[in-house]
Chain A
């Protein structure tokens, strides 16, 4: 459902992604691991369509459609979701209002009428339980004054309500204690299914104990230098990224 071909991207003229190839099929969960500065978040932002990232070569297809030509909101309406590494605080916009606006934007795009108020309320309540979110958070402004854990839970909550077909989780584990990590992972796992794809971006193997991926890729210096099964994550946990830091050539050979 997501095909990335030879993706090169620059930020402020500096090339960060240097030729990424990645295919995620429906039902699959892929993990992207890598040290700081390897290009993980750039990849997430390019997929979501953030300004300031220039794709200089390659393409991304989403169900065969050219993703890079779509505005960020169109990507979302097509079923793409980015769980932000740093969710933005939006004072003055209530969480529930925001969520309803998002749900209705997607429905409008699909030619559907606005969501029925009762149906929406039921959906929200059901999904709130999933991430153990308190109802008071619905009335508060989007992410304003939320703790790090609350912000990440709010991301998973939004995902659970919007029910995208493909979700990119950008370092959703960073800054979470083990309980919060478990809640977030449970939320993601509950959404996994044969029609849905996930790209889980993380620095640490820890998250992958809870969200067990089908495939693991190591991103280093803008390239995927190694791909494997879930056991690759464990290997990285033991050996760290030192191997790639010191001898990227050898790592690439190992990947080949």
Chain B
């Protein structure tokens, strides 16, 4: 088991290193002059020369990459803005702030959004999926599958503004969506995030309903499940003890991928509701062509996704004894 996790971690590290190379090349190697991109439409030669110097673009690409890697592991102190301890992603060109501390600063918003929504959509989605499978062929099943079909085709950029317009602007039932730190005021943390959670989890829950239903129905046709039923065990016991466990595997896989990418920043949700998380940071970085910040967000997100992939693999072994034995 430990060896399995170790091997997976090693694979993830290799991918992360390769990803760093590709992302670095994309941002600093591919444009003819990255400084010009960052400088924007009102660029003066002085400002351009300044960016050239601070970015170190006068050096060759491998040299730049080496300096960047050094910064990641040991830190750098050649920035005009001040020292940059490891892990150093440099300083933002737009706000002049340390990229790493900006990331850490934005992380709680993203984590709050992801964890709250994940709780909601996992329970609602699995619950309604199981209910639909249990009542297969009835009106309940048809309503749930039909509803899930339509809801999973909804887009956050439609449902989000719609919910805000109805609940906040037109009827004033809810507070304006905003992020308050949990430690500062738990109550307004909750009320400020209710709508984003609900919107994000509506779409996800619909997908989980469909998945849980089909996976459960598939499991109920398995031979060991039929045997258990033939032995005379009650329908509910077989349903929850035998089929349920097997149906979890595909759901855990997707859940791991989803939570990983949500923790890397739910870009559209955060942008729709104006929540200052990692996703919105990425959009801001793109708008101002802030390459160091963009590189930082991208690597951070990728690391999150890979981390959760490993956790999913470890979970398999926990759920499915066959994985543990092999």
A and B associate: no
User: B residues engaging A (CB < 8 A)?
Assistant: none
Interface residues of A, Cβ cutoff 8 Å to B: none
